[in-house]
Amino acid sequence: MSKLASITLGILTAIGGFLDIGELVTGSLTGARFGMSLAWVVVLGVAAIMLYADMSGRIAAITGRAVFDIVRERLGPRAGLVNLVASFLINFLTLAAEIGGVALALDLASDVSYLLWVPLVSLLAWVVIWRLPYQAMERVYGLMGLALIVFVVALVKLHPSWSGLWHGASHPTVPTGEGHPTWFYYAIALFGAAITPYEVFFFSSGAIEEGWTRKDLAESRANILVGFPLGGALTIAWMALAAVVLQPRGISVDHLGQAGLPVAFALGKVGVAFMLVGFFAATFGAAMEVTLSSGYILGQYLGWSWGKKLRPREAPRFYAVCLLVLFGATGLVLTTIDPVKLTEYAVVLSAVALPLTYFPILVVANDRTYLGDDVNSWWMNLLGTGFLVVIVVASAAAIPLMIATKAGL
């Protein structure tokens, strides 16, 4: 039973990484707009994050140190600083979007303006980070996020043409009336959301929080094999639901409520209740994950004491960073900036920074100085290099496509 419970680190990471406000809306938006033609991107992203998360978990378990800590040491402080600045900025934008996403979920449940919920959401996030033990945090919100399986139930309830959905996914084409640049722009957005950098930083830092060692490598892989495919499967379920319900009716998706319309259509009020619980857990879990990731990477770069395993008086700078980031992100959301659009920009910008994160991980995962005989196998290097090529191409194309398509309009 304890081993089963420990898998919630992977579930929380997957829910926080895949199933946040950006993925909720982007997955539904692409389904409503492009059908199943971008499902291959989700599969590619799941495979890539699983491989690099395995490297990150192995590095943490073998060395007893988090990935960002070793990257700074292995590549030097200057390269580490570039990575730190880029990752911290993306974390900040993502956190603001997640806080807005939680507030939007509460808005849907209560019909109270999301702006009134924003300060309360941030306060709750701080109290949880400050007071709730790490394992309790990951298990409560990771498992609550499983309520999003209601999207799979809704899809099955609608009895769609499974062969039609499979054909759309296995024969990706740009729908009539859509341009290739826009199609590729959303492909990069989906890919960036799937492998956003804070996922591997949180995963490796979480392994240190839980005290993983070499004997826990099997547990690390169990987390990966359960959590990330689950996140990917649920994303594809959103896409399929939107393709079945919204695309034929010409309904676009640019708000969290619209992403939930297919569940309401298929399952009524009971389905909506489960959906709102899942929305809250996914976005709130992501907000905590990004907040902690910000404290983790800054603490690891500067050599501070860090982590929820320490009490606030034992790691005051770590907790101060978490508080300040939450405060700043709350201020950004209260400017009334659209949380959905903010997340879309964040995931595309994260695609620009992806090589800064994943190339160093590949380098460290092949360094016998740190890992001894536990370095990557030949097939992991082959796949890792292939994914890195895709990451570099996505990074190079992200900003030009954003400009050319006016952010997907």
Of 200, 197, 184, the C-alpha closest to 354 is 197
The pLDDT tens digits for 192-208 are 888 888 888 888 888 88
All residue ranges of the chain with pLDDT < 70 are 1-20, 22, 138-139, 142
DSSP-assigned letters across all residues of 294-345: HHHHHHHHHT---STTS-TTTSHHHHHHHHHHHHHHHHHHTTT--HHHHHHH
Is-contact 190 27, C-beta < 8 A? yes
What pLDDT sits at residue 316?
94
Of 330, 365, 355, 6, the C-alpha closest to 191 is 355
3-state secondary structure of 18: coil
The pLDDT tens digits for 331-368 are 999 999 887 778 778 878 888 888 988 999 999 999 99
What pLDDT sits at residue 14?
53
Task: Domain 2-405: give its CATH code.
Answer: 1.20.1740.10
What pLDDT sits at residue 1?
44
Query: b/e for 72-101, b at 16 or more Cβ within 10 A?
Result: beebeeeebeebbebbbebbbbbbbbbbbb
Q: How do the domains of the chain map onto residue ranges? A: 2-405
Beta-carbon neighbour count of residue 296 at 10 Å? 29
